[in-house]
Amino acid sequence: MQAVLALEDGRVFRGRGYGAPGEHAGEVVFNTSLSGYQEILTDPSYAGQLVCLTYPHIGNYGTNPLDSESAHPFAEGLIVRELAQLSSNWRSVETTSEFLADFGLPVISDIDTRALVRHLRTHGSMRAVLSTQDFDEQSLIAKAKASPSMVGLDLASRVTTSAAYEWTEPSSNIYLPEEVPAEAETRYHVVAHDYGIKHNILRRLVDVGCKVTVVPAHTAAADVLAMKPDGVFLSNGPGDPEPVEYAARSIREMLGRVPIFGICLGHQIIGLALGGKTYKLKFGHHGGNHPVLNLETQKVEITAQNHGFAVDPDSLNSNEVALTHRNLNDDTLEGLRHRSLPLFSVQYHPEASPGPHDSAYLFERFVQMMEEFKK
């Protein structure tokens, strides 16, 4: 197949099409991870986005059911330099192209991804259309301009679960035997708000001794507190945090009544609940190699990240909120905690998948906070 990627500012890339034929619009972002393409594509935080992977050779180890971070891919499409047509891995069930075709996802390959990334770094993330059907450049550019902007878009409502459910699977179901974490006694009940939650987050919570109840994004504070949880977790998710006001309102009602831990979109919602503001980054943070300084320990953590918005640290009340983590690439806020209430959050992904495990200690910290609150 032929494939065309047309950006809203008129830049056009032509290449080969794989996966499913079709036409998808979305915001183009780039991810610098060297592996983990299946986890990236099935991360609900990528809803509404076309993902360009900067590593040039993608797909050589195929795909398998255990590596998916949700039931299906949420990205609108995949952009790569070269897509492997063969899989060489004992865990592989399908090639990457077959996997994406199963879910109706298009791929454009054989384009200069370095040129695309440089363009996005210079001009910022922008809307685009990836098509294997329409090859008229002006038509595609017009469609890109007409597609929804990420600013003001509540995507958490689109990707959240429709009903509450229990999660009990630990990490031992996916790791090799020598990598299996020690099983912890189940001692805490955690209610996890699903704004686009990843499976590995739920596994990590089970690993540290949590019984997890996942609830839809719109679940009211009263309904959560009625479950008598030991803690509340706020998940990652896609889109602009400001339209997710219903979540910020719910968090405000729970402040001080139950320990709260948030990541990614959950972190941004906490910032809004504490009276802060958020803003859109030029091209976001997407990848598994972002250095973050823990301001309380002065240790640097290499982190996995996926977000296009950030909390403005100057908008937070410093008498109530302590800033705990800072991005060493651009000085953006990466973590905070309340000075007197049981609440903390980070902008990055401590569960990784894909990415480093430097920040996995944060799940233990959540457990410690729940234990101290019970005393």
d(CA 335, CA 346): 4
Burial class (CB in 10 A: 0-12, 13-18, 19+), 314: exposed
Count of C-beta atoms within a 10 Å radius of residue 252: 14
Task: Answer yes or no: 94 catalytic.
Answer: no
Checking phi first, is residue 110 left (phi over 0); if not, alpha (psi -120 to 50) or beta?
A: left
| Separation between Cα atoms, residue 13 and residue 10, nearest integer Å | 10
- Per-residue buried b or exposed e for 355-366, using 16+ beta carbons within 10 Å of the residue's own CB: bbebbbebbeeb
- In DSSP terms, which residues pair with 227 in a beta bridge? none
- In the chain, count H helices and then E strands: 10, 19
Q: State the DSSP string of 253-290.
A: HHTTTS-EEEETHHHHHHHHHTT--EEEEEEEEEEEEE
Name the 3-class secondary structure at 115: helix
Which strand (E) or helix (H) includes residue 165?
A: strand 165-167
Q: Which amino acid would we find at residue 125?
A: S
Q: Is 349 a catalytic residue?
A: yes
Active site residue 364: no
Catalytic one of 8, 210, 264, 325: 264
Instruction: Check if the beta carbon of residue 336 is closer than 8 Å to that of residue 323.
Output: yes
Judge residue 289's burial from the number of C-beta atoms within 10 Å of its C-beta, 0-12 exposed, 13-18 middle, 19 or more buried.
Answer: middle
Residues recognised as catalytic: 264, 349, 351
